[in-house]
Amino acid sequence: MAYASPGTDTSTDLDADEKNQMLELGQLASLTASGSGDKSKDKLGQKALRRLAQNREAARKSRLRKKAYVEQLENSKLKLAQLEQELQRARQQGIFIPTPGDQPHSTNENGALAFNMDYARWQEDHNKQTNELRALLNAHASDDDLWRIIDSIMAHYGEAFRLKSVAAKADAFHVLSAMWKTPVERCFLWLGEFRPSELLKLLASHLEPLTEQQFASICNLQQSSQQAEEDLSQGLKVLQQSVAETLASGSLCPAGSSGNAADSSGQMAVAIGKLGTLENFLQEADNLRLQTLQQMQRILTTRQSARALLAISDYFSRLRALSSLWIARPRGMNSAGSSVDDTRYFQ
């Protein structure tokens, strides 16, 4: 019986099968020609036919196994290429992707890595939607066409905040630090994302001309957003102070003690309980961001909303571009372009 291993070439298998079949046919022909009336020879002929049929069936199954194996290898190769492209895009956007020596060892780290990958895909889809909106606006498309893509972008923002909510349950500090964003973006963040009131200020020049009613509504929205931001910031400050006081309230460790968490397990349990409320602050902040975007959409006309969404996307794209330029800047140069001796800062 011919057997095709995964590493065997298909043409070799087929040649072997054909040779076996030709051999069987030759034997059968010789038996038949020598005496077709002989019962023993008839039995040998029938046995040869069965063996020939078995060989053909074995060869057919072998080819099917070989074909399935090759298809599986091709699919695995395609998935690997797609994963490598996603990792490359994520690194270009400044998203932290661990190296093989830094594989995650906990549920929190696995959740953070999964969110980073999801956000990279979200950013790619967002760029496609923004490009489509820009093309429609430049082509003077109808309000119905613009509204369709505007609704799609708004729903996509909601999906981003949903992903962040899931990630915050796994690791609130990962969301708070926004390690999936570029360094320059993180410099301007508030509770893991943009500050709604500041974003409204940046959009002011892109929303003109505004009616008096629109201008008043935008001002009221900016004030209410700023007040909500201050409340959340104050609540976070109180939480930080409470955790710090909890850790500092214990008695001094006895002589010879290591002073680690095991020596103050009670304090640590209380502090962990308080830190559990951090997820609520992140959720409230994202709710405020989404509500601000939705309120802005209700105040503006269709074309104003389109320009506002494009301005938001362009602003964050420039922040990412600035981060890339900052990382790639020549070292040892000051803002005027002259060389700087960095060693003097450490003397």
Closest by CA to 95, choosing from 121, 130, 131, is 121
For residues 56 and 50, give the distance between their C-alpha atoms in angstroms, rounded to a whole number. Answer: 10
Res 187: pLDDT: 93
143 alpha-carbon distance from chain centroid: 32
Question: What Rg value do the Cα atoms of the chain yield, rounded?
Answer: 34
For residues 216 and 258, give the distance between their C-alpha atoms in angstroms, rounded to a whole number. Answer: 61
For residues 65 and 140, give the distance between their C-alpha atoms in angstroms, rounded to a whole number. Answer: 56
Residue 6: both structure tokens together = 């995964």
pTM across the whole model: 0.66
For residues 154 and 150, give the distance between their C-alpha atoms in angstroms, rounded to a whole number. Answer: 6
Closest by CA to 222, choosing from 236, 237, 202, is 202
17-21, 130-134, 204-208, 238-242: which has the minimum mean pLDDT? 17-21
Q: Which residues pair with 206 in a beta bridge?
A: none
- Say if CB 181 and CB 94 are below 8 A apart: yes
**Cβ-Cβ contacts under 8 Å for 108 (sequence gap 6 or more):** 170, 171, 174
pLDDT digits (tens, 9 = 90+) for 4-51: 444 444 444 445 555 555 565 565 555 555 554 556 656 667 777 888
- Say if CB 159 and CB 126 are below 8 A apart: no
Residue 340 region by backbone torsions, left for phi larger than 0, else alpha for psi between -120 and 50, else beta: beta
Residue 311: both structure tokens together = 């301005």
Of the two residues 283 and 71, the one the predictor is more confident about is: 283
For residues 96 and 81, give the distance between their C-alpha atoms in angstroms, rounded to a whole number. Answer: 19
For residues 45 and 27, give the distance between their C-alpha atoms in angstroms, rounded to a whole number. Answer: 8
pLDDT digits (tens, 9 = 90+) for 109-154: 677 888 999 999 999 999 999 999 999 999 999 999 999 999 999 9
pLDDT digits (tens, 9 = 90+) for 149-160: 999 999 999 999
